[in-house]
Chains A and B, each alone.
Chain A
Amino acid sequence: MSAQGKRLLLNGNHAVSYAVKLAAPRVIPVYPITPQTPILEKITDFLADGEMDAEVMTMESEHSAMAAAITASLAGVRVFTATASQGLLLMHEMLHYASGARAPIVMANVNRTLGSPWGFWPDQTDSLAQRDVGWIQYYCENGQESHDTTLLAFRVAEQAMLPAMVIHEAFYVSHALEAVELVSPEQAASYLPPFAPLHRLDPLIGESWGNTVSQQMFQDHRRDLGEAMEGVAALAKAADRELEALVGRGYGIVEQYRCDGAELVIATMGSMTGTARDAVDELRSEGVAVGLLKVKLFRPFPATDVRELLAGVPKVMVLDRNFAPGTGGFLFQELKSALYGMRGAPPIHGYLAGVGGTSISPAAIKELARGALAEEPSANSVWKG
């Protein structure tokens, strides 16, 4: 058994940086943006102190940072980058390219509101708007989970040969100081093997990427990409089990919390999960049978697991700290789609709660849950924030 890691007081961003140090990427192309910048700052501290050896490339934009990340990854080295909000959106074109090139980059994204108007608040719309770009997406509840998930993401990304995002929210996680138990260097070394891809860009080998292809080749390539994504759920579960065996902390790809005999299950992602745990505990102590479903892996969406876990549940209430005008909350949409056609599928209340970073307390969630138990759900998301 490897030595236990140190326990430090860290904010969520620095918890990611410590995991990046353990993963030891060779190239880190970045462009700073609030509230991501502390991730980069801590990494450059590690470099200055000689605790890390990587090439940090400060690019002229996020688009260029992702372009550099792709090419570095294709050269056969482990690559990390981080961004947020507008920066993630500027990368959009290159995000598609990264998955198409099968470059297993790991990127931290700190959820922040999108302009206009301007803000720095926790809201998941930035990363959820990238749900169709072929990246694995993990949503984290706290700094500990962000630390552990960064290592998980490298492992799964490099097995599936797909890029992965590790996502947490501005302030509530990114700038929240709390105790984090680090994975030890010995544990990390046994968990994450060196990155050694079958193919890489090297003038001595003479491989190339991104050539013009025929329609059939393009379709075959997209199908391969889809199959790789479909395989992620199993890889992610295995990687999670092994991490739990090693460090004693496991998360699953979805988590059920106190769902036994629940009349209502609250479904949510990210930092709202912690607040919802308090609400569930209080409701249970008041005799109201409410449980919680936390969706950690959002891409690929764990539809099979969600169908199993929600089978027989009388009602579901989704809390979305995100919003797509015209369709509503993203998790609400995905859950409805996952449960469609299931015999006895539960009716779902879709609540927009915490959009723009508005504060949602345990008391507010309790009130929403009591309301959802008494009301008929609407087909569309309902504003409750």
Chain B
Amino acid sequence: MLQFIIQGRGGQGAQTAGNILAEFFFQEGRQVLAYATYGGARRGTPVSSSLRVDDKPIRMRCDIEKPDAIVCFDPSLLAGTPVLKSASAETLLLINSVYPAERFAELGVKRVVSIDAKSIAKSHQLGAMVNSTLVGALLGVLAYGNVALLRKVVAETSPVKAAENVAACLEGYRIAREGGASHV
């Protein structure tokens, strides 16, 4: 079973990112269970999306305790919040940041990949909507090969700007696959 946690703030699209990934794995023919929780139901408060992927039906309904990857939309969530409580030596931490991965060494997570999703999204006329870029980045860093399906699913799930979202997603995928850090 693959287990992912996506952490963002209300309005950033973390829940949507979880839904896009769920749709991707569902269309790939795998079993998925994805849900988001939000405490405040308002913009700016922490939102967490959980995704499990398996080859057999997923029955457990509880928090993910040992994620394979954590995608963090906002590095300010890393300080003073329980985002990292579940991170282990095997956990991959993918951070949306202008700073390189070394900047986050103090977090004590072994595998950190940083990607400047905000700049990528902006360059594709997506404003601050970084979710498609980070979806691509997560699959890129996992070296998940089904790019044709990724392209299809992101286009289908984009409410607007489908071509821009696909382009940003593929750029996120490429940069992350090459090790991340598209930094100025």
Q: Which A residues lie at the B interface, using CB under 8 A?
A: 9, 11, 34, 119-120, 142, 169, 171-173, 175-179, 271-272, 274-275, 277-278, 359-363
Contacts and interface: CB of A to CB of B under 8 A. Distances in A.
Interface in B46-90: 58-63, 65
A360 B60 CA distance: 9
14 contacts: A34-B41, A120-B41, A169-B61, A171-B37, A176-B35, A177-B22, A178-B33, A178-B34, A179-B26, A274-B60, A274-B61, A278-B59, A359-B63, A362-B60
Q: From DSSP, what is the main secondary structure of chain B's interface residues?
A: mixed
B41 A176 contact: no
Interface string B22-34: 1100100001111
A275 B62 CA distance: 7
A175 B47 CA distance: 13
Contacts of A361: 60, 62-63, 65
B39 interface: yes
Given A9-B22, A9-B26, A179 B60 contact: no
Given A172-B61, A275-B61, A360-B62, A11 B35 contact: yes
B62 A171 contact: no
B35 A172 contact: yes
B109 interface: no
A274 B36 contact: no
| Most chain A CB inside 10 Å of its own CB: which residue of B19, B37, B38 | B37
Nearest to B34: A177
Nearest to B58: A178
| Most chain A CB inside 10 Å of its own CB: which residue of B18, B23, B62, B63 | B62
Given A177-B19, A274-B61, A277-B59, A171 B35 contact: yes
B60 A278 contact: yes
Given A172-B61, A179-B31, A179-B32, 19 more contacts: A9-B22, A120-B37, A120-B39, A120-B41, A169-B61, A171-B35, A171-B36, A171-B37, A177-B23, A177-B34, A178-B31, A178-B34, A271-B61, A275-B61, A278-B59, A361-B60, A362-B60, A362-B62, A363-B65
Contacts of A360: 62
A363 B64 CA distance: 12
